[in-house]
Amino acid sequence: GQQVMQIPQYQHVQEGEDFTTYCNSSTTLSNIQWYKQRPGGHPVFLIQLVKSGEVKKQKRLTFQFGEAKKNSSLHITATQTTDVGTYFCAGPGGGGSNYKLTFGKGTLLTVNP
Amino acid sequence: NAGVTQTPKFRVLKTGQSMTLLCAQDMNHEYMYWYRQDPGMGLRLIHYSVGEGTTAKGEVPDGYNVSRLKKQNFLLGLESAAPSQTSVYFCASSSQGASEQYFGPGTRLTVT
């Protein structure tokens, strides 16, 4: 079945350093989505990428979708304490259904002020 | 709009007890999902629904049942709770299959 893998599992940075998390799917994806979950909170949708090679930016966050549509990355420039949380990628499909998402296990980002 | 709401927020059960978690959404979404989240395991899909009156199994359905009698509500039932079901449960909804999902605040369940 479809698998979505994320690395690293944990990342601790000093405030101001950059951060990147990587997402790899075992199958080609029609789109990839990114979510953020603050400690004690619920996942919140950040963005969806659809096109091969697509790059989107949200302020200090840069999202990329690979040319083969099997991998993606999230890069945060100059981290701030407000960036703390777990970042999940998710792709459609898995188990023969396109009605659901398969989530990666997430990357927990902690930021030392 | 309240978005996606879940009740209760916290619950402690003894092994063998039963309970129902309620999820409600006011966005007129067709698709609804139940996930459980355990440390280091990410979000695992328990059951989902593609419309009123429909349900389907996800990745970890054993020990759970669901019902979608009304479009806005999705109920998750535990008939005989086990300690392995100690987890945080999230409900989510979306307007289209596998599109952006909106999550509820979660229910923290402890089974002793």
What is the pLDDT tens value at each position of chain A, 113 positions in all? 778 999 999 999 999 999 999 999 999 999 999 999 999 999 999 999 999 999 999 999 999 999 999 999 999 999 999 999 999 999 997 666 778 899 999 999 999 99
Q: Distance (Å) from the C-alpha of residue B91 to the closest C-alpha of chain A?
A: 10
pLDDT digits (tens, 9 = 90+) for B49-78: 999 999 999 999 999 999 999 999 999 999
Q: Distance (Å) from the C-alpha of residue A33 to the closest C-alpha of chain B?
A: 7
CA-wise closest residue to A4 among A86, A69, A84, A75: A69
Collect contacts of A56-60 with beta carbons under 8 A, ≥24 apart.
Answer: none
Q: Is the pLDDT of residue B94 over 80?
A: yes
CA torsion, ordered B97, B104, B13, B62, to nearest 10 deg = 10
How far apart CA B81 and CA B86 sit, in angstroms, is: 9
Q: Is the pLDDT of residue B35 over 90?
A: yes
Chain B, residues 89-108, CB within 8 A of chain A, namely 90, 92, 97-106
User: Between chain A and chain B, how many beta carbons pairs sit less than 8 Å apart?
Assistant: 60
The number of C-alpha atoms within 13 Å of A108 and in the hemisphere containing its C-beta is 9
AA letter at B98: A
pLDDT of residue A10: 96
A88·B43 Cβ contact <8 A: yes
**% of chain B residues with pLDDT over 90:** 91
Locate A11 and state its tokens. 């990342």
Flag whether residue B42 sits within 8 Å of chain A, measured between CB atoms: yes
3-state secondary structure of A38: coil
A98·B106 Cβ contact <8 A: no
